[in-house]
Amino acid sequence: MVIGTNEIKKVVLAYSGGLDTSIMITWLKENYNNCEVIAVTGNVGQDAELDGLEEKALNTGASKLYIEDLQKEFVEDYIFPSLKAGAVYENSYLLGTSFARPIIGKRLVEIALAEGADAICHGCTGKGNDQVRFELAVKAFAPTMKIIAPWRTWELKSREDEIEYAEKHQIPLKITRETNYSKDMNLWHLSHEGLDLEDPANEPKYDQILELSVSPEKAPDRPTYLTLSFEKGLPVALDGKKLDGVSLIKALNKIGGANGIGIIDIVENRLVGMKSRGVYETPGGTILYHAHQALETLCLDKETQHFKQGVSNKFAELVYNGLWFTPLRESLSAFVDQTQQTVTGEVKLKLYKGNITNVSLTSPYSLYNEEFASFGEDVVYNQQDAAGFINLFGLPITVQALLNKVGE
Amino acid sequence: MVIGTNEIKKVVLAYSGGLDTSIMITWLKENYNNCEVIAVTGNVGQDAELDGLEEKALNTGASKLYIEDLQKEFVEDYIFPSLKAGAVYENSYLLGTSFARPIIGKRLVEIALAEGADAICHGCTGKGNDQVRFELAVKAFAPTMKIIAPWRTWELKSREDEIEYAEKHQIPLKITRETNYSKDMNLWHLSHEGLDLEDPANEPKYDQILELSVSPEKAPDRPTYLTLSFEKGLPVALDGKKLDGVSLIKALNKIGGANGIGIIDIVENRLVGMKSRGVYETPGGTILYHAHQALETLCLDKETQHFKQGVSNKFAELVYNGLWFTPLRESLSAFVDQTQQTVTGEVKLKLYKGNITNVSLTSPYSLYNEEFASFGEDVVYNQQDAAGFINLFGLPITVQALLNKVGE
Amino acid sequence: MVIGTNEIKKVVLAYSGGLDTSIMITWLKENYNNCEVIAVTGNVGQDAELDGLEEKALNTGASKLYIEDLQKEFVEDYIFPSLKAGAVYENSYLLGTSFARPIIGKRLVEIALAEGADAICHGCTGKGNDQVRFELAVKAFAPTMKIIAPWRTWELKSREDEIEYAEKHQIPLKITRETNYSKDMNLWHLSHEGLDLEDPANEPKYDQILELSVSPEKAPDRPTYLTLSFEKGLPVALDGKKLDGVSLIKALNKIGGANGIGIIDIVENRLVGMKSRGVYETPGGTILYHAHQALETLCLDKETQHFKQGVSNKFAELVYNGLWFTPLRESLSAFVDQTQQTVTGEVKLKLYKGNITNVSLTSPYSLYNEEFASFGEDVVYNQQDAAGFINLFGLPITVQALLNKVGE
Amino acid sequence: MVIGTNEIKKVVLAYSGGLDTSIMITWLKENYNNCEVIAVTGNVGQDAELDGLEEKALNTGASKLYIEDLQKEFVEDYIFPSLKAGAVYENSYLLGTSFARPIIGKRLVEIALAEGADAICHGCTGKGNDQVRFELAVKAFAPTMKIIAPWRTWELKSREDEIEYAEKHQIPLKITRETNYSKDMNLWHLSHEGLDLEDPANEPKYDQILELSVSPEKAPDRPTYLTLSFEKGLPVALDGKKLDGVSLIKALNKIGGANGIGIIDIVENRLVGMKSRGVYETPGGTILYHAHQALETLCLDKETQHFKQGVSNKFAELVYNGLWFTPLRESLSAFVDQTQQTVTGEVKLKLYKGNITNVSLTSPYSLYNEEFASFGEDVVYNQQDAAGFINLFGLPITVQALLNKVGE
């Protein structure tokens, strides 16, 4: 879809204040007849970066800047449903960037519609997953909205090109020529890609990379203990103190980060067909996933637990692929919510130099019963039943073996 | 199936030399007309326990003792196929006990048939998985062989009862009255169950429990580096030195154990319908699984990797449930083997106080290509293709959204 | 669990009035100290058999007979959830017997608890699935209730033995010595097993077997047309006339049966480890499943439709295995219900000699859009997008092929 | 990827002799500097259309025509692996068009490489699956080969436009202006799309549409019986007479077509994001799938059969999506082949007016055993085992129910 330059009078831009989206303001005005550019920043927990943002946006040509505090919604409607689902992409990735895109995309549409904008613009490259996640969110709420993705079409091919463009157009930026990892930060995680990480043969220079956490080597020599309380699959208290989701995650990020928890280094399969390599810091999230899964081993029956493994994988795949606002994701969430009715209890953990160890699991709905599993006598379980069980469970093997014998 | 006491003249007993199987020799002779009892010990890597075993068996009434060295077969035909499959039960358990039962069961049958025995006897309780795993192996190779499982029928209900029985029958055992965790050890792992571990609210007393490994706290303050070489999914060398499977695992157990690697504490779902709690030490195995999975992220394409997740889960479930000798397990292995054709390369890892960190991944079959994923220009990937991709990939969302609009 | 004969003073018996359950009344009184036997018949649509049942029960020794009309509940709470799930066991079996057992088992418990009974007795053999389904329903609502399953323990081994027992005990039955297929009938289906059907090499004698339907050969030479209306996955009207579920199924059974619809002949895998062969008549149910699935192809998006295939299979497996009252079945139903929000519309079908053919599918929520799929021009779909889509979708193939080239 | 017009000197065209590919010869020469066009027709069983094809191709400007007889390879390497897999797309579609594209695409590449061509051109529209299937096959064997898909870029938008173009360029075609369904025929099936079929509310005009078969109404009033013999999952004989795959399918197409077998009318989800509606005739294929699946119910154990359901669905999805030449498809085939070791036996069927009914199933590897399933006495199965089985199988339900009681 080639967009006629005259069709665009007003654009809503997903704005971070970084190099990319700063020069995009100028670029949009240059390429679309000096159109109005409305900048929108969704606050999903990258707080520090928000100071002075409005001035910056206006100075570089935006007509206004929306700063939307999405933190509460982000936690309750995106992070927690994924936590309950146990959604982990390719056994490792806790989806930190993935579920931050739909919520921002949705808000962009709301503002674009309210402002009567003609298009939405984002700063994602044409090689990543984020372009897909943003645009699918736009399509879900404004299926005919025009989308501008400069990285896929403009002539700039690198950070150097961008800086040159900025200087040429006198865009007032405090930028240095030193290159940097490509990062994405929010309440849940911080990702690092690019530069020497491009080659999986290179060990990450953790000392330079890590921001939310320290490496296990630098973590304290003494363990930290904490207790999480869950109600119906949701974390509601830390060390007995009720906390809202945002505060809980912030608190856990601090504790986890200090103990070197949740640093992963993976090669993942992007939706757009290539593999990529990244280092992710998810200190609080890793603790929450660990605690939630441990509690589930107590509260879910085997059949549910095993089937949920497939649901978790599919849920993660959908979220990773930007398919948050889809009937399947919603139906999987309905499944998950039903499974969580009894996932209530307390999980005490020990954190020590990158390790999370269970200290104590308790639940009023625990299906684990000391009596049933122990070696003493009891009423519920009669060991003599096992013979019959094995004979019938193994009957197909017996029949097969008898058949083989006949054939000999 | 009640077995007539006169039907049994010769029994093959799975013998460990422990309390249970020692008194079973006497019990069998007492209950089955002084039948002959042939003891069989499968060596699957629990070496230390084998010294003096023959004397012990004969002293307690066995007519002979077979000590079968199954280590090589155990690694090549059971452990490695599971490693290639990435089989992990309930996201945590590396199946150490599970796949040790079929190989022993199979050898028991071979000896029973060669000796013309009337029955096979094992010392598993009626509450666990092992009885199932043993008996299904027996059924697979001797479907009409009688099976005697004393724990399910005799009057002894506890360790105390057993000791009393031993004393009463003057069975010469060096036993003390102190109780102990229930353990299972082999080349791959060591498991601990029972006593205070029965309650998931109790933190394991790692200092008393651990044998193959030290806790992360007690591991060295400096990391250990190692490099594993894989060929078609199988580990073939450590730090550049070719090693057979048995030696490799032993070497990794030492290195891993010293660094606090591979200790887990889980509540699992037994096949026989109850939950149980165990602490497992799998130092070398945990390293191998980590390395293998990391290499797969480089060498497997996305579709294969994702589908294999379901295969891994099913494979683990089958092995856990004792269904090793079944058409489905064999068919899953055929799938797995085909996926491993390109899983060849080197994985360098850092071990540090319980943490395994990737240092370097390389493979001649790597599908990761720096050029494709990087932000620079290239030939293979044209960013403009992304727009078309997103439009078609997102078409169902667009259609749904348009439909919703019409309905408004 | 051996039940002491003195423990049982009052038994609730699942009673059909057939040979098995008739002599069980006498047998129970004989074996349990002349205990009181309360007969319970759940009416799930086998109407004709209910006349004169009370007299029969009392004459053979029961203290009373409950006849419970469960038809409405059966349709709404068991049949329709399975229909919405698209649950089909092993690609063929529509679960007619499977979901009739839980509802009866549940009512048996309710009556047993109200009557203060000590045990529940059923007439299922020890080789089938029904014993499991009944007993799991009992366990779900009365986990410590005693269960008596005479077929597993008494000395009678055949129909002949039963008749002899009846005559010997002067049980007043109108029975003939002619043997018969083992049947199970309800609102949804009629099953036939046994006799010559035992061998899959034998063609079923349909002329003698069929009761709800005629064979395609005997069906009319002219087709019958009908239209079903669905709302959120549930059938609500036939040919424009609103009908409650029970009436709808009865009406469809007539129409379908007359046209030779829904007769299957299968070898299935029982839960208890053996295969069995049966002929099933499900005329109305087959029409409903066909119509529902056809409507779903219009109203569900691809991702949901494909994932639901796995859910359907699992749902069917659970129901077949008697696991109706379990968290997983309930969670799968939550998933299913969410998917059905838009499964609303009309399905017109043609029935002709065993064939069901779609005549017309319409839905206000249809995701099929003539414009999108047609070969003419349109706005939503730009054919040029396909090139980009294919390049990215096929990127793993390209990368693999390039890698192979390099290796040549 | 915009292709420079001067880069193309020689093009290999997938040629059918129909309107589309005929005018493409002219169009290619017109748009690519009078380049040489080599036409290639893969014979996958659409025989009748091949007469006079060479003359036609040369007359319309091709430099030569390859007619490749791919029938044997098509059956053995594409159809039979799919049959063994039981691959059915969305419960209905037997993949007739899907697996015909990869084999043709592969041969196109072979010829293009041998001829030193610069590009491959196909006549698929930009809205369908076939463009993907062709191009992925090309990418698999010639990842950098240029691909020309005129329908995605040229100015012609309809059949009318094409005819006008042909007349304007004096392309010698015997075409009439009457429109027609879009069809695809090969050894396995014939598909029909377009025109009134575009609306699922329209009943197909079967009398005008059907070519391989008659409607059930027009089929004979007497049934036809046939017997198929399978060896390791492959059909090898018809009524006792050994037949190669091609002859077997041709014979079954005749018999099946005459009896109204294998006509379906479905709405399917295309890979490119839209739904489409089609009528498919697959007479012989439908018989083969039915027979193969029936035999599997006898020869596969439950666990294998159930897991294979998921494999079948995934296999079908891959084939439908053009992912034939991929590691996952090959790995799934390895799984499937292993399952088929015992799928050997005879299946006798009755065909009657659209119905396929089992007459007799026999196999030397049958796991169905009359004795096991019957109601009489036997050795292998002891009914008393069932009590123990149910108690352990139902233990999670019992525990849950006890827990609920405690909570009351």
Residue D1, pLDDT > 50, answer no
Count other Cβ atoms within 10 Å, centred on residue A207.
Answer: 10
The pLDDT of residue C159: 84
pLDDT in tens, A154-194: 999 888 899 999 999 998 877 665 568 999 999 999 999 99
Instruction: For residue A408, tell me if it sits in a domain.
Output: no
Q: Are C227 and C358 in contact (CB under 8 A)?
A: no
Residue B1, pLDDT > 60, answer no
The token pair that represents B148 in the structure block: 């005697």
Burial label for B175, CB within 10 Å (0-12, 13-18, 19+), is middle
Instruction: For residue C367, tell me if it sits in a domain.
Output: no
Q: Are A370 and B108 in contact (CB under 8 A)?
A: no
Q: C47: pLDDT confidence band, cut at 50, 70 and 90?
A: low
* C-alpha pair distances (Å), D184 with each of B166, B269, D16, D98: 80, 52, 11, 10
Instruction: For residue A367, tell me if it sits in a domain.
Output: no
Give contacts of C400 with chain B, Cβ < 8 Å.
Answer: 301, 367
The pLDDT of residue D383: 87
The pLDDT of residue B375: 41
Pick D383 or D13 by higher pLDDT. Answer: D13
Q: Are B83 and B288 in contact (CB under 8 A)?
A: yes
Residue C349, pLDDT > 60, answer yes
> Does C268 sit within 8 Å of D275, measured CB to CB?
no
User: ∠ at Cα D247 (D246, D250), nearest 5°?
Assistant: 90
Mean pLDDT of chain B: 93
- Find the CATH number of the domain harbouring B28: 3.40.50.620
Q: Do C196 and C222 belong together in one domain?
A: yes
Helix axes A245-258, A283-299, angle to 10 degrees: 110
The pLDDT of residue B403: 86
User: ∠ at Cα A387 (A385, A389), nearest 5°?
Assistant: 70
The arithmetic mean of pLDDT across residues C355-381, rounded, is 78
- Of D301, D307, D332, Cβ closest to residue B314: D307
Q: Are B352 and A217 in contact (CB under 8 A)?
A: yes
Cα separation, A366 vs A344, in Å, equals 9
* Binding-site sequence positions of C for L-aspartate: 125, 129-130
Active site residue D277: no
Chain centroid offset of residue A344 CA = 24
Give the structural domain span for A395. Answer: 372-402
Residue A364, pLDDT > 90, answer yes
Residue B4, pLDDT > 60, answer yes
> Does C331 sit within 8 Å of A323, measured CB to CB?
no
The string of DSSP codes covering B271-285 is TTS-EEEEEEE-HHH
pLDDT in tens, B341-389: 999 999 999 999 999 999 999 999 999 976 655 444 455 788 889 999 9
- Find the CATH number of the domain harbouring A229: 3.90.1260.10
Cα separation, B350 vs B220, in Å, equals 13
The pLDDT of residue B7: 85
Write phi, then psi, for B316 (nearest 5 degrees).
-60, -45
Instruction: For residue A238, tell me if it sits in a domain.
Output: yes
pLDDT in tens, C206-242: 999 999 999 999 999 999 999 999 999 999 999 999 9
Q: Do B382 and B355 belong together in one domain?
A: no
Edge-first strand order for the sheet with B190-193 is B182-185, B190-193, B275-281, B263-269
Q: Do B41 and B91 belong together in one domain?
A: yes
Edge-first strand order for the sheet with D64-69 is D64-69, D36-43, D10-14, D119-121, D146-148
> Does D327 sit within 8 Å of B304, measured CB to CB?
yes
Residues whose CB is less than 8 angstroms from the CB of residue C167 and which lie 6 or more positions away in sequence, other chains included: none
The arithmetic mean of pLDDT across residues D18-22, rounded, is 90
pLDDT in tens, A281-328: 999 999 999 999 999 999 999 999 999 999 999 999 999 999 999 999
The token pair that represents B159 in the structure block: 């360790």
The token pair that represents B116 in the structure block: 């013309």
Instruction: For residue D12, tell me if it sits in a domain.
Output: yes
The token pair that represents B397 in the structure block: 């969302």
The arithmetic mean of pLDDT across residues C278-307, rounded, is 98
The arithmetic mean of pLDDT across residues A92-98, rounded, is 97
Give contacts of A341 with chain C, Cβ < 8 Å.
Answer: 327
Q: Catalytic residue among B20, B184, B213, B312, which?
A: B20
**Chain A residues with CB-CB distance to C under 8 A?**
1, 272-274, 300-301, 303-304, 307, 310, 314, 318, 323, 326-328, 330-339, 341-342, 382, 385, 392-396, 399
C-alpha torsion angle, residues D148, D149, D154, D160 (rounded to 10): 140
Q: Do B297 and B385 belong together in one domain?
A: no
Q: Do D274 and D387 belong together in one domain?
A: no
The pLDDT of residue C296: 98
Beta strands in C173-233 (DSSP E): 182-185, 190-193, 224-231
* C-alpha pair distances (Å), C113 with each of D44, D62, D359: 69, 86, 48
Q: Catalytic residue among D63, D182, D333, D366, which?
A: D182
pLDDT in tens, A266-283: 999 999 999 999 999 999
The arithmetic mean of pLDDT across residues B268-286, rounded, is 96
Q: C157: pLDDT confidence band, cut at 50, 70 and 90?
A: confident
The arithmetic mean of pLDDT across residues C170-189, rounded, is 81
Residue C375, pLDDT > 50, answer no
Q: B184: pLDDT confidence band, cut at 50, 70 and 90?
A: very high
The pLDDT of residue D87: 98
Domain end marker among B144, B179, B214: B179
Instruction: For residue A64, tell me if it sits in a domain.
Output: yes
Chain centroid offset of residue D2 CA = 32
Residue A347, pLDDT > 50, answer yes
The arithmetic mean of pLDDT across residues A385-408, rounded, is 85
Cα separation, C112 vs C357, in Å, equals 47
* Binding-site sequence positions of D: 14-22, 93, 98, 123, 125, 129-130, 133, 182, 191, 268, 280
Return the minimum-mean-pLDDT range out of B377-386, C51-60, C139-148, D56-65.
B377-386
Return the minimum-mean-pLDDT range out of B176-180, C263-267, D269-273.
B176-180
The arithmetic mean of pLDDT across residues A40-61, rounded, is 89
The pLDDT of residue D377: 47
Beta strands in A271-336 (DSSP E): 275-281
> Does C382 sit within 8 Å of A1, measured CB to CB?
yes
Residues whose CB is less than 8 angstroms from the CB of residue C241 and which lie 6 or more positions away in sequence, other chains included: none
Q: Do B173 and B246 belong together in one domain?
A: no
Active site residue B51: no
Q: Are C111 and C13 in contact (CB under 8 A)?
A: no
Domain end marker among C162, C179, C196: C179
pLDDT in tens, C84-120: 999 999 999 999 999 999 999 999 999 999 999 999 9
Count of domains forming chain C: 3
Chain centroid offset of residue B179 CA = 25
User: ∠ at Cα B12 (B6, B14), nearest 5°?
Assistant: 135
Count other Cβ atoms within 10 Å, centred on residue B220.
Answer: 13
Neighbors of chain C with 3 or more C-beta pairs under 8 Å? A, B, D
* Binding-site sequence positions of D for L-aspartate: 125, 129-130
pTM: 0.97
Which residue of chain C comes nearest to A330, CA vs CA? C338
pLDDT in tens, B188-242: 999 999 999 999 999 999 999 999 999 999 999 999 999 999 999 999 999 999 9
Give contacts of D275 with chain C, Cβ < 8 Å.
Answer: 297-298, 367-369, 372-373
> Does D265 sit within 8 Å of C360, measured CB to CB?
no
**Interface test with chain D among C259, C269, C385, by most D beta carbons within 10 Å:** C269
Q: Catalytic residue among B130, B184, B229, B363, which?
A: B130
Mean pLDDT of chain D: 93
The arithmetic mean of pLDDT across residues A369-397, rounded, is 76
| A388 closest CA partner among B275, B135, C125, B324 | B135
- Of C301, C393, C402, Cβ closest to residue B396: C301
Residues whose CB is less than 8 angstroms from the CB of residue D71 and which lie 6 or more positions away in sequence, other chains included: D43, D44, D45, D187, D246
Count other Cβ atoms within 10 Å, centred on residue A6.
Answer: 9
> How many CB pairs (< 8 A) connect B and D?
89
User: In this structure, what DSSP letter does residue A6 have?
Assistant: T
Q: Do A291 and A175 belong together in one domain?
A: no
Q: Do A155 and A269 belong together in one domain?
A: no
The pLDDT of residue D18: 87
The pLDDT of residue B383: 87
Q: What is the CA radius of gyration of chain C?
A: 25
3-state secondary structure at position B90: coil
Cα separation, B127 vs B132, in Å, equals 10
The arithmetic mean of pLDDT across residues D36-43, rounded, is 97
Cα separation, C373 vs C383, in Å, equals 11
Q: Do D148 and D199 belong together in one domain?
A: no
Cα separation, D80 vs D77, in Å, equals 6
pLDDT over 90, % of chain C: 85
Write phi, then psi, for A234 (nearest 5 degrees).
-105, 140
At which residue do the structure tokens 């098995």 appear? C20
| C342 closest CA partner among C305, C296, C304, C309 | C296
Q: Do C74 and C124 belong together in one domain?
A: yes
Residue B254, pLDDT > 90, answer yes
Residue B406, pLDDT > 90, answer no
Cα separation, B352 vs A260, in Å, equals 12
The pLDDT of residue B243: 98
Q: Are D73 and D43 in contact (CB under 8 A)?
A: no
Instruction: For residue C324, tell me if it sits in a domain.
Output: yes
The pLDDT of residue A50: 82
pLDDT in tens, D250-308: 999 999 999 999 999 999 999 999 999 999 999 999 999 999 999 999 999 999 999 99
Q: Are B54 and B29 in contact (CB under 8 A)?
A: no
ipTM value, please give it.
0.95
Return the minimum-mean-pLDDT range out of A34-38, A214-218, B51-55, D141-145.
B51-55
Q: Do C215 and C353 belong together in one domain?
A: yes
> Does A335 sit within 8 Å of C332, measured CB to CB?
yes
Q: Are A130 and A97 in contact (CB under 8 A)?
A: yes
Mean pLDDT of chain A: 93
3-state secondary structure at position A11: strand
> Does B388 sit within 8 Å of C384, measured CB to CB?
yes
The arithmetic mean of pLDDT across residues B387-394, rounded, is 92
| A303 closest CA partner among D400, D402, C305 | D400
pLDDT in tens, D49-105: 788 899 999 999 999 999 999 999 999 999 999 999 999 999 999 999 999 999 999
Write phi, then psi, for C322 (nearest 5 degrees).
80, 15
* Binding-site sequence positions of A for L-citrulline: 93, 98, 129, 133, 182, 191, 268, 280
Count other Cβ atoms within 10 Å, centred on residue D49.
Answer: 13
Write phi, then psi, for A143 (nearest 5 degrees).
-60, -20
Q: Do C273 and C389 belong together in one domain?
A: no
Q: Are C230 and C292 in contact (CB under 8 A)?
A: yes
At which residue do the structure tokens 């990543």 appear? A128
The kind and range of the H/E element at B115 are: helix B100-115
Q: A377: pLDDT confidence band, cut at 50, 70 and 90?
A: very low
Q: SS3 breakdown of chain B: % helix, strand, coil, rounded to 5?
A: 45, 20, 35
Helix axes A327-339, C327-339, angle to 10 degrees: 150
> Does C132 sit within 8 Å of D269, measured CB to CB?
no
Q: Are D380 and D400 in contact (CB under 8 A)?
A: no
Instruction: For residue B407, tell me if it sits in a domain.
Output: no
> Does C368 sit within 8 Å of D200, measured CB to CB?
yes
The kind and range of the H/E element at D84 are: helix D80-85
CA distance A299 to chain C (A): 11
Give contacts of D403 with chain A, Cβ < 8 Å.
Answer: 365-367
Write phi, then psi, for A299 (nearest 5 degrees).
-105, -20
Q: What is the CA radius of gyration of chain A?
A: 25
At which residue do the structure tokens 């139906």 appear? A331
**Chain A residues with CB-CB distance to D under 8 A?**
301-303, 364-367, 369, 372, 380-382, 384-389, 391-393, 395-396, 398-400, 402-403, 407
Give contacts of C326 with chain D, Cβ < 8 Å.
Answer: 396-397, 400
**Interface test with chain A among B269, B281, B346, by most A beta carbons within 10 Å:** B269
Catalytic residues of A, by residue number, are: 20, 101, 130, 182
Q: Are C50 and C41 in contact (CB under 8 A)?
A: yes
Cα separation, B284 vs D274, in Å, equals 50
Cα separation, D276 vs C374, in Å, equals 9
Q: D406: pLDDT confidence band, cut at 50, 70 and 90?
A: low
Return the minimum-mean-pLDDT range out of B348-352, C180-184, D204-208.
C180-184
The pLDDT of residue A172: 80
> Does C132 sit within 8 Å of D216, measured CB to CB?
no
The token pair that represents D190 in the structure block: 């014939």
